[in-house]
Amino acid sequence: MENFKIAVLAGDGIGPEIMKQALKVLKVIEQKKKASFELKEGLIGGCAIDKFGIPFPEETQQLVLKADAVLLGAVGGPKWDNLEFSIRPERALLGLRKLLQAFANLRPAKLYEPLIEASSLKPEVVSGVDIMVVRELTSGIYFGEPRGIIEEEGERVGINTLKYREHEIKRIAKVAFDTARKRHKRVCSVDKANVLEATVLWREVVTEVHKDYPDIELSHMYVDNAAMQIIRWPKQFDVMVTTNIFGDILSDACAMLTGSLGMLPSASIGGKIGLYEPIHGSAPDIAGQDIANPIATINSVGMMFTHSFNMPEIEVAIDKAVQMVLEQGYRTKDIWEKGKTLVGTEKMGDLIAEALETCL
Ligand code: IPM
Ligand code: MG
């Protein structure tokens, strides 16, 4: 039985309570003797600021670099919103992604059929939705220089830079095409090539990389149109590959197709160590109330098994366990509807862990 070192960074807000549920799932996997784990907890975000004065302390950096994979809850909250920009909790997340060179962020938006009524869109529009957003994660406008707020001609000027190097586009395009190969063999690359030169290059390079993937169908779409098409007819998409900021925005839109932001997991890969986190934030408004949905975090554990531990069968089992619990009618508040059984975060975690025992 293989042993994996996992850095567990629960973070802030609902982070600790959803993380607790993910750990229940790991426990079942261990009890079933599929793998064993060495869990190392570290501080990141607001909780790290409270203890060390900075959001991503050296101690945590060392911890993640020694791990086989990193599991993260969420960071941030109103308590730290007024801090100087460079030490805000969100900076830790960007620092972590960069440190791990996790340039490819996979965000699967797949509808669980029992949740068809939970989506704000019509059932015939969302039924069967299965989109993989491949978001570039360590470059683009999130990281480009120059940046900042400066004084110019007697007024303040805010600056960010959208910049992509050829190799950065090449490697994310490859991930997108390789991902499509294991799915429905279609990639839609999203850019704003009618306005932004950086994405003119994006479109060119993606088209060049495509020459090595004749079996994959490639299309291009402007981001404004893509946002509209996601709402209009999401089933047209298989893999969508896009820049850091467009991926941030479009993946939230895709999440709502599945009923709730609380459903979407993510894997950030490309470096030696993978990073796994729900795409939702720390939701400070509902923290500590036992109402957060732990499914995105639990499914992020699933992705960890496929992408870091080469055990895709565990992801399949976790997915099946979630499906079972939803079929039995259990719902957290965000996905609840009339006639279903409302459960809290803890109970949802217990139910999925129990179901997993029968799926492994
Ligand atoms: C996400 C989040 C982060 C991002 C924030 C919290 C920095 O919105 O993971 O989508 O913009 O990448
Ligand atoms: Mg986001």
pLDDT at 113 over 90: yes
Residues with a CB atom less than 6 Å from ligand 1? 90, 93, 248, 279, 281
**Which ligand has an atom closest to residue 138 CA?**
1
Angle between helical axes of 15-31 and 295-307 (0-180°, round to 10): 50
Residue nearest to atom 4 of ligand 1 (CA): 248
Distance 248 CA to ligand 1 centre (A): 6
Residue nearest to atom 10 of ligand 1 (CA): 248
Tokens of 67: 């791990």
DSSP H helices, 81-194, are 89-99, 123-126, 166-181
Q: What is the pLDDT of residue 102?
A: 98
Q: What is the pLDDT of residue 279?
A: 93
Distance 266 CA to ligand 2 centre (A): 11
Q: What is the pLDDT of residue 145?
A: 98
CATH superfamily of 1-103+270-360: Isopropylmalate Dehydrogenase (3.40.718.10)
**Which ligand has an atom closest to residue 249 CA?**
2
Residue 42 and residue 72: Cα distance in Å, rounded? 10
pLDDT at 287 over 90: yes
User: Does CATH place domain 109-259 in 3.40.718.10?
Assistant: yes
Catalytic residues: 142, 192, 224, 248, 252
Q: Specify whether the CB–CB gap between 107 and 135 falls below 8 A.
A: yes
Mutate to test the pocket of ligand 1, among 105, 136, 248, 280 (most ligand atoms within 8 A of CB): 248
Q: Specify whether the CB–CB gap between 4 and 66 falls below 8 A.
A: no
Q: Specify whether the CB–CB gap between 255 and 47 falls below 8 A.
A: no
Q: Residue with structure tokens 């059929």?
A: 113
In the predicted model, what is the mean pLDDT of residues 231-246?
A: 98
Q: Residue with structure tokens 């060392």?
A: 62
Tell me how many helices (H) and strands (E) the chain has. Answer: 12, 14
Residue nearest to atom 5 of ligand 1 (CA): 90
Share of the chain above pLDDT 90, in %: 97
Q: Residue with structure tokens 């470059």?
A: 139
Q: For the beta carbon of residue 195, count every other beta carbon within 10 angstroms.
A: 11
For the stretch 131-164, pLDDT in tens is: 999 999 999 999 999 999 999 999 999 999 999 9
Distance 252 CA to ligand 2 centre (A): 6
- In sequence order, the 6+-apart residues with CB closer than 8 A to the CB of 21 are 294, 297, 298, 345, 346, 348, 349, 352, 353
Atom of ligand 1 nearest to the CA of 266: 9
pLDDT at 233 over 90: yes
Share of the chain above pLDDT 70, in %: 100
Fold match, 1-103+270-360 / 109-259: yes
In Å, how far are 112, 132, 179, 194 from 139, measured between CA atoms? Answer: 32, 20, 20, 21
Domain boundaries, the chain: 1-103+270-360, 109-259
Residue 153 and residue 149: Cα distance in Å, rounded? 13
Mutate to test the pocket of ligand 1, among 72, 85, 86, 90 (most ligand atoms within 8 A of CB): 90
Q: Which of 24, 237, 269, 217 is nearest to 111 (CA)?
A: 237
Residue 217 and residue 353: Cα distance in Å, rounded? 39
Query: Mean of the per-residue pLDDT values for the chain?
Result: 97
Residue nearest to atom 11 of ligand 1 (CA): 248
Distance 297 CA to ligand 2 centre (A): 15
Q: What is the pLDDT of residue 299?
A: 98
Q: Is 313 exposed, middle or buried (0-12, 13-18, 19+ CB in 10 A)?
A: exposed
Distance 283 CA to ligand 1 centre (A): 13
Residue 118 pLDDT level (bands cut at 50, 70, 90): confident
**Which ligand has an atom closest to residue 279 CA?**
1
Residue nearest to atom 8 of ligand 1 (CA): 248
